[in-house]
Chain A
């Protein structure tokens, strides 16, 4: 089974400053169809998750361009160029190449 490991678990950030979350998988995530099914989700308390990024680096509709995804193989990163107050919450990476697995989550809070 593929295990997804996120770091850090908690990320205190200053408004307007950049933030970065890492996600590592125990197996490569290139599907036989050539796609890499690595997504990032954001969840605020009491809300359903919202997908931000799919297939490593594609932003969903309506997602601000301060969010970007990158990576390949077994290592992936979500970056926020300038953190805003609405970005607080928990971020999850998810692989969909080998069935489906979520990372443990990274809690982003404002310092």
Chain B
């Protein structure tokens, strides 16, 4: 069965970076893409970016461009999301989800369990 298993919770200081992983199993990794979505405490869902495991293409939400990098490692079927220059407003649960290999939009119904990133001095 399709599974996306994310790395564990992180606590970071302001100005630091965080890298969250999302290990995929149960399907051919290179046939799909991975989308990253975050959710601040008590808030809604916010799209961050997408990476194609097929060809390495990536797209980002404008507000994160320059500060986030999403990648896929086909040798380990793992996707990564790195967010830099963290502030307290980046405290959130970060989700990965499976999508199309071609574009961000066709988000499917396979999600990771979420990774809580807390930014605190």
Contacts and interface: CB of A to CB of B under 8 A. Distances in A.
Question: Do A and B make up one complex?
Answer: yes
Contacts, number: 59
Given A1-B62, A37-B105, A37-B106, A100 B47 contact: yes
B80 interface: no
Contacts of B103: 96
A99 B107 contact: no
A10 B45 CA distance: 16
A95 interface: yes
A64 B44 CA distance: 24
Interface stretch (A12-20, A45-53, A65-73, A79-87): A45-53
B46 interface: yes
B102 to A, nearest CB: 10
Interface residues of B, number: 22
B62 A94 contact: no
B104 A99 contact: yes
Given A37-B105, A51-B109, A99 B44 contact: no
Q: Chain B's interface: helix, strand, loop or mixed, by majority?
A: loop
B118 to A, nearest CB: 16
Interface in A86-107: 90, 92, 94-105
B22 to A, nearest CB: 12
Interface string B81-106: 00000000000000100000001111
Contacts of A51: 107-109
Contacts of A94: 45, 107
B106 A96 contact: yes
A102 B46 contact: yes
Interface of B: 35, 37, 44-47, 50, 59, 61-62, 95, 103-109, 111-114
Interface of A: 1, 31, 37, 39, 41, 43, 48-51, 54, 60, 90, 92, 94-105
The 5 closest A-B CB pairs, nearest first, are A96-B105, A51-B109, A48-B111, A100-B47, A102-B45
11 contacts: A49-B37, A49-B45, A50-B111, A54-B106, A92-B44, A96-B105, A96-B107, A99-B61, A99-B104, A100-B105, A102-B47
